[in-house]
Amino acid sequence: MNITNLLRIALRALANNKLRGFLTMLGIIIGVASVITMLAIGQGSKRSIQEQIAEMGSNMIMIHPGNMERGGVRQGASDMQTLKLEDYKKLQTETRYLAAVSPSVSSSGQFIYGANNYPSSINGVATEYLEIRQLSVQSGEMFTDQDIQASAKVCLLGKTVVDNLFTGGEDPVGKIIRFNKIPFRIVGVLASKGYNSMGQDQDDVVLAPYTTIQKRVLAITHLQSIFCSALTEDLTEKASDEITQILRQDHKLKETDADDFDIRSQQELSTMLSSTTDLMTILLACIAGISLLVGGIGIMNIMYVSVTERTREIGLRMSVGARGIDILSQFLIEAILISITGGIIGVIIGVAASYGVKIIMSWPIFIQPWSVGLSFAVCTITGVFFGWYPAKKAADLDPIEAIRYE
């Protein structure tokens, strides 16, 4: 018996039992639709986190002092003074993989403007810091290299700080605010970036020349950290190695000495967060997969009923010349048709539901093409797997008994 005839027979059998076929299909439809929707939600949140990291600068590398021992005594991070201004200069001149380098020193305290005050921290950086953190100036302008050389008392404010200090809505550019009694002239306001994926307010920031903070606020000569950005995200690792090399040489560390600094890249953070969302995606997909399995069992159940109900038909087909393999393929194709049709409808509903979630709940979703292909393949396999046993039962019937079955 050829495949067209088999398909015709299977389609006719399904057409004779439309409601039953549809209810059986429903299990598969729900299974496939939920797999696709769950994966879309999982992948969507992964994407959105990756995008936020990219916004923060996915090629960003942070260098902190670390792991220094003095005579066997470990030092606390704030006491460590291993990062020097020379390190920053060296990195600037010797690097091949870095696009920008900026030192960073910060101090927290109270900002005062008129009757308003607001606690935050002031960050002493170089002009490259804007590029590294992907910040932009909304109004006014960035301080200049001359300001850095002169240790000028100028600053840029983030939106949160502006909102808290300038409650009257006046333009902060050109105004003088005070930080721990030191007056700073505001030269610019940063564009708002909102909250990042870890819930930190990225607008709660004040930037000033690092020299100003070093000399006039903290009275230190070392650096608290150095921010760099690699040329591209892919070069982050090479850049980190290069930094290690330069800093070790600069710090005159012996082969056996441990690094007295600590390098962290956004890529590591990105990997960590991705693995969290991946886990979530897997969990969601597992739950959805279980519903697909339940749908498959539904097919098996209904195919068993169908075989029993059509015992006489099977007997007749055998007596007019159907071989076991013909009967087996007939019922198998019926099961596969149910699961494939259910799969197609499930894909459509799953995609629609994903966009529904996006529109109604405004969650980020992303439908990965392979997730559609995968769930479709799984439901076809489900059809074959769960259709096999009932079909085998039908094929093994004794024609003599089947034809006289009441």
Partner 1 sequence: MSKSIIHLENIRRDFIVGDETVHALRNVSFSISEGEFVTIMGTSGSGESTLLNLLGCLDTPTAGDYFLDDVPVKLMGKAERAILRNRKIGFVFQSYNLLPKTTALENVELPLMYNPGISASLRKEKALKALESVSLQDRVMHKSNQMSGGQQQRVAIARALVNDPVLILADEATGNLDTRTSFEILVLFQQLHATGKTIIFVTHNPEIARFSSRNIVLRDGNILSDTLNTSILLATDSLAALPKEKD
x/- mask, partner 1, residues 373-402, rule CB under 8 A, reads --------------------------xx--
> In the range 8-37, which residues lie near partner 1 by CB under 8 A?
9, 12, 16
Q: Which is nearer to partner 1, 193 or 310 (CB)?
A: 310
Q: HSE-up of 326 (CA within 13 Å, CB side)?
A: 15
Report in angstroms how near the CB of residue 10 gets to partner 1 at its nearest: 13
Q: Which is nearer to partner 1, 141 or 396 (CB)?
A: 396
Spatial separation of the C-alpha atoms in residues 338 and 379, rounded to whole Å: 10
Answer for which of 325, 352, 359, 381 binds partner 1 (CB under 8 A) is 325
Residue range at the interface with partner 1 (CB under 8 A); choices 42-50, 117-125, 193-201, 318-326: 318-326
CB 247 within 8 A of CB 89: no
Q: HSE-up of 179 (CA within 13 Å, CB side)?
A: 28
What is the total count of residues that contact partner 1 (CB under 8 A)?
Answer: 24
Q: Which is nearer to partner 1, 89 or 323 (CB)?
A: 323
Answer for which of 30, 187, 208, 322 binds partner 1 (CB under 8 A) is 322
x/- mask, partner 1, residues 199-218, rule CB under 8 A, reads --------------------
Inter-residue long-range contacts of 17-21, CB under 8 Å, 24+ positions, other chains counted: 17/306, 20/302, 21/338
* Structure-block tokens of residue 152: 């000028």
Answer for which of 74, 308, 323, 373 binds partner 1 (CB under 8 A) is 323
Answer for which of 108, 121, 249, 319 binds partner 1 (CB under 8 A) is 319
> In the range 243-302, which residues lie near partner 1 by CB under 8 A?
none
Report in angstroms how near the CB of residue 297 gets to partner 1 at its nearest: 27
Report in angstroms how near the CB of residue 5 gets to partner 1 at its nearest: 5
Answer for which of 320, 360, 362, 369 binds partner 1 (CB under 8 A) is 320
> In the range 338-357, which residues lie near partner 1 by CB under 8 A?
none
Report in angstroms how near the CB of residue 368 gets to partner 1 at its nearest: 43
Q: Which is nearer to partner 1, 49 or 318 (CB)?
A: 318
Answer for which of 66, 109, 324, 364 binds partner 1 (CB under 8 A) is 324
Q: Which is nearer to partner 1, 5 or 271 (CB)?
A: 5
Q: Which is nearer to partner 1, 16 or 136 (CB)?
A: 16
x/- mask, partner 1, residues 70-89, rule CB under 8 A, reads --------------------
Report in angstroms how near the CB of residue 322 gets to partner 1 at its nearest: 5
x/- mask, partner 1, residues 298-317, rule CB under 8 A, reads --------------xx-xxx
Burial (CB count <10 Å: 0-12, 13-18, 19+), residue 90: middle
Q: φ, ψ for residue 57 (rounded to 5)?
A: 105, 90
Q: Which is nearer to partner 1, 89 or 312 (CB)?
A: 312
Report in angstroms how near the CB of residue 399 gets to partner 1 at its nearest: 5
332 near partner 1, judged by CB under 8 A: no
Binding site for partner 1 (CB under 8 A): 1-2, 4-5, 9, 12, 16, 312-313, 315-326, 399-400, 403
